[in-house]
């Protein structure tokens, strides 16, 4: 199944602290962004860590979005972000890229490392 897996490491996030630390703030932001991208949510699971940090996944008919926050890591904290979308029902690459960039902007990092993996494509 052809698809795209967008991966980012976000450093020194300048967003509101609650986005990094509070499940009740982060989860609805991620779910709303996915819905805004016209992707079909089939499940949502987030976990609040103590004393801080949130991890979560939004399962999509198209695949998934995953986010993990480490607010205690350096100034502004650290976030990992994955957006993986396959093209089973249609071409979803543009939607995935738009969602990915929106989510990166949500955290407002000063330093970003991005990786793009094209899935299901063999070089023969």
Tens digits of per-residue pLDDT, 4-63?
999 999 999 999 999 999 999 999 999 999 999 999 999 999 999 998 999 999 999 889
Catalytic residue list contains 12: no
13 given a catalytic annotation = no
pTM: 0.91
What's the Cα-to-Cα distance from 45 to each of 30, 64, 72, 80, 110, rounded to whole Å?
A: 11, 11, 22, 16, 28
Architecture of domain 3-119: 4-Layer Sandwich (3.60)
Which of the residues 13, 47, 63, 88 is marked catalytic? 63
Q: Active site includes 63? A: yes
- Domain ranges in the chain? 3-119
């Amino acid at each position: 199944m052809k698809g795209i897996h967008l991966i980012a490491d976000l450093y020194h996030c300048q967003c509101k602290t609650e986005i990094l630390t509070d499940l009740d703030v982060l989860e609805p932001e991620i779910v709303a962004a996915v819905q805004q991208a016209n992707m079909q949510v089939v499940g949502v699971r987030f976990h609040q860590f103590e004393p801080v940090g949130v991890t979560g996944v939004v399962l999509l008919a198209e695949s998934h979005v995953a986010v993990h926050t480490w607010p205690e890591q350096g100034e502004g904290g650290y976030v990992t972000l994955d957006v993986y979308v396959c093209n089973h029902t249609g071409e979803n690459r543009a939607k995935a890229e738009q969602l990915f960039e929106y989510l990166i902007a949500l955290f407002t990092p000063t330093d970003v490392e991005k990786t793009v993996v094209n899935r299901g494509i063999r070089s023969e």
